[in-house]
A and B are shown apart, each in its own frame.
Chain A
Amino acid sequence: MTDLGTLATEPLFGLPLPALWFALLFAMLGTFLFLDGFDFGAGALFGVREDETERETVLAAIGPFWDGNEVWLVVFGGALFAAFPSVYADLFSRHYLLMFGILGALILRGLAPEMYEQRHDAAWQRWWGRAFVAGSVLAPFLLGAFVGNWLAGTERSFTLVGIVVGLAVTALTVVSGTAFLRVKTTGEFHDALGAYGLPAVVGYLLAVVASLGALWVTVPGLRAALVSVPVLALVGLSVLLAAGYVLALRRDHDLLALVASAALTYGLVAVVALALYPAVDPVTGATVQSAIVSTLPLNLMSVGAALLLPLIASYFVVLYSAFSGPAQPTEGY
């Protein structure tokens, strides 16, 4: 048979692959939370804007992108399965009902805009509009709850930590959703959107403080990690980023505000990753080293990811540059 012995016996180029995959997983999760996050945020803002043209603009703004954005969740799930199969199995089966809640919200969120565009009568659009908003708000909330529970190492689906982290993630999606829609709009709608930035980002910071407090009180094992230098630095940096975000919005540097919201998202995910490491699942005590898949499949996966991730990045460049500039409410297929 094929000789892949050299691949199998040791890590590729001597790289610390288990730790790299742990980092890569959270990078994928962060990418999903940022990209699909601004879709979710756009969905939430769709809920507070009543004007028909504005609503059509929101749908046109995320239309070409959301599918590709959401695939990052599939990639995250697949990579977790492939790199840490037992963690994938334990984590997902433990939070059984929560997982199905997330999936249900994602179904609503994905289906509703497609349905909304199919018919142009008031009752139909009112109900699918509500479904779109419900999915857009519930999905980040439940995802945040999942991540909070994962970090806290709890076996229960609904916990205080889960709820406050869920709120933080939901607020964060409004932060990035506002910046994204500002990039994609002009005129009155663009100006009106500016007002959502400050309350969203302040809400986010408060929810983060509440999350850290809840973790401090309920999970004593995490206290040392929470006051470690990298975590404190990231929290401090988040406050600066939040201020920069508000300033950028004020001065119409919308793209800069979007970048700031991306940095806030990756910062949040980095805090979670840093607080977990070297564990991957506090409940079972699985660590990065103990739960990692064996060397041969890990090497194969690494080669695959090294080839594919740059390629994927290029698809996103093509997609986002093809649809750069403001969205037109009439745009569709």
Chain B
Amino acid sequence: MVDPVIASRLQFAVTTIVHIIFPVMSMGLAPFLVYFTWKDIRTDEPRYEQLRRFWTKIFAVSFVVGTVTGIVLEFEFGTNFAAFSTTAGELFGGPLAIEGMMAFMLEATFLGVFVFGRERVSDALYFVSSVAVGLGTWLSAVWILIANSWMQTPRGYELATENGQPIVHLVDPVAAYFTPRFTYMYVHMQNSAVLSVSLFMAGVAAYYVFRHHVWGYSVANVGFWEATLKIALVALLVTAPLQVVHGDQYAQHVYETQPQKFAAMEAVWDTERYVPEYIVAFPTSPDQLTDPRAKELFGLGIPGGASWLASGGDPNAEIRGLNEFDTEPPPVAIVFWSFRAMVGLGFWFILLAFWGGYRWWRGQLLEDDLLHKALMGSSLLGIVAVELGWIVTEVGRQPWVIQGVMKTSEGVSPGLTGAEATVTLAGFVLVYTTLLGLYTYVVARIIRAGPPGGEDLRTVPDDRPDPSTPPAEVPADD
């Protein structure tokens, strides 16, 4: 039997790692759906109806899987982290309750109207319902991140002891709920959701554009995919550079408020000045793999880079080493490598955006097969970067569940047995893997079936030579 503390942590990790995919999809798709709905109503162009209907299908299935995996998260605080829930409930429960009432309700009720109601309600109400659904997804993140950012940088509270148990009392709601961390987290999270969905849309569209324009297959609805690719590229050009700009601000804020996490991100053990920003680093022996800079075999770094980034411009700034903290450090290698992979992906996304933008400007967007391949290969990398970012955030703050107040090991339900925790952990791995597999399967089917309306509705005729010499393939429409 696995120790209940470890099993609970693993279970929560599995739940969140799988769950976050679906909110990212819905939050990222929301602004696109509002735009498609608006254009559909205002222009009467069939293209926008196709775009709205197609991406609404993917939104709807993401929302359903997000709901069923999300309810579990809310209940896991009670089942597995009862001590944390009792201690922090006064601060933590409120945002969760308000999230349900303010955001989730709005999203779930208007989703019914939005998904099923095009023929039943007026254009105005239909548009309002698309906005309400989008607003609901974005407000959900507000309250969830208010709760999360308070755990990262707690303030506005007093700690008391009641019946031998520490209890957090709310004294200043504005301070507690609107921490500086919340702003950094929210901007970074929402931008990453739109960025991830842009990459996904671009990758899927690139596949069909590539088949049509590079391989010469006759692809039904190729005009739809070309439009999707262009819309996704516009969003990518806006979101990819922004992600790095506020990511940098966020990292400086972590340096100031969670120095232990920052030290783990950079794998700094002894307090130093002029710390290099390591691009890669490897230890001398495999025993040290959990610590990339233990006894350094090889490291490639920019001199003074980490200090420069942390302080916002001073290459000589001091970074406190992990050895200086009283608590044990978080798993350094996970945090160090996740952070590097996330940042590396961020720069790759900028490159992709500029590459695509440049080719479009030159009128070569539809022919550049290397770009198409790069986009296809990157279609899921936005979500990968989100996962990595959350791993840095959540693993990096260990051993604390509430920074400086309560350790994760102290937050687990006291009565929980190893047997119970192990049974549900095994169940979770099974159920969540299945859910992820089913979701992938369904989304892949929706993509293969293509947009509604069997024939290509593009009004401008294709002036290139007839590409139908290779076996004509039309996606099965069932």
Chain A residues within 8 Å of B, Cβ to Cβ: 1-2, 4, 8, 63-65, 67-68, 70-71, 73-75, 77-79, 81-83, 85-86, 88-94, 96-97, 99-100, 103-104, 106-107, 110-111, 114-115, 118-120, 293-294, 296-297, 300-301, 304-305, 308-309, 312, 315-316, 318-319, 322-323, 331-333
Contact = CB atoms under 8 A, between A and B. Distances in A.
Contacts of A323: 112, 116-117, 120
29 contacts: A1-B156, A2-B174, A68-B112, A71-B100, A71-B104, A74-B104, A78-B96, A78-B101, A81-B96, A85-B85, A86-B85, A86-B89, A88-B78, A89-B77, A89-B86, A90-B86, A93-B78, A96-B424, A97-B424, A100-B424, A106-B68, A107-B69, A115-B442, A293-B93, A297-B93, A300-B170, A301-B94, A301-B98, A304-B97
Contacts of A319: 109-110, 112-113
Contacts of A316: 109
Max count, chain A CB within 10 A of own CB: residue among B79, B113, B117, B120: B79
A63 B116 contact: yes
A52 B118 CA distance: 25
B108 A68 contact: yes
Contacts of B91: 297
Contacts of B99: 78
A2 B173 contact: yes
B78 A81 contact: yes
Contact of B90 (A63, A71, A78, A293): A293
Contacts of A89: 77-78, 82-83, 85-86, 89, 413
A186 to B, nearest CB: 17
Interface string B43-81: 000000000010011001101110111111011011110
B235 interface: no
Q: What secondary structure prevails in chain B residues at the interface with A?
A: helix
A2 B172 CA distance: 7
Given A2-B173, A81-B78, A82-B96, 12 more contacts: A63-B112, A75-B105, A93-B414, A93-B416, A104-B427, A296-B170, A297-B91, A297-B93, A297-B170, A301-B97, A304-B97, A333-B53
Interface of B: 53, 56-57, 60-61, 63-65, 67-72, 74-75, 77-80, 82-83, 85-86, 88-94, 96-102, 104-106, 108-113, 115-118, 120-121, 125, 132, 156, 169-175, 413-416, 420, 423-424, 427, 431, 435, 438, 442, 445, 478
A142 B92 CA distance: 27
Contact of B108 (A8, A71, A106, A318): A71
B64 A81 contact: no
Contacts, number: 235
A90 B69 CA distance: 22
A333 B115 contact: yes
Contacts of B156: 1
Nearest to B117: A322
A77 B100 CA distance: 9
A65 B108 CA distance: 9
A284 B438 CA distance: 42
Contacts of A312: 101, 105, 109
Contacts of A81: 74, 77-78, 85, 89, 92-93, 96-97
Max count, chain B CB within 10 A of own CB: residue among A63, A96, A296: A96
A111 to B, nearest CB: 6
B94 A111 contact: no
B478 A107 contact: no
B427 A94 contact: no
A120 B449 CA distance: 14
A75 B72 contact: no
Contacts of A86: 85-86, 89
A104 B75 contact: no
Given A71-B105, A74-B71, A333 B56 contact: yes
Closest 7 pairs (CB-CB, A-B): A85-B89, A92-B78, A64-B112, A78-B97, A82-B93, A81-B93, A89-B82
A309 B171 CA distance: 25
A4 B172 contact: yes
Contact of B94 (A77, A106, A297, A309): A297
A111 B175 contact: no
Contacts of A91: 78
A110 B64 CA distance: 7
A259 B97 CA distance: 28
Contacts of B121: 322
Nearest to A109: B68
A309 B100 CA distance: 11
A42 to B, nearest CB: 15
B75 A92 contact: yes
Contacts of A301: 94, 97-98
Contacts of A304: 94, 97-98, 101-102
Contacts of B78: 77, 81, 88-89, 91-93, 99
Contact of B97 (A82, A99, A294): A82
Contacts of B170: 294, 296-297, 300
Given A106-B71, A120-B478, A88 B112 contact: no
Contacts of B442: 114-115, 118
Contacts of B110: 315, 318-319
A73 B435 CA distance: 21
Contacts of B79: 92-93, 96, 99-100
A140 to B, nearest CB: 15
Max count, chain A CB within 10 A of own CB: residue among B68, B92, B413: B68
A88 B85 contact: yes
Contacts of A82: 89, 93-94, 96-97
Contacts of B111: 67-68
B100 to A, nearest CB: 4
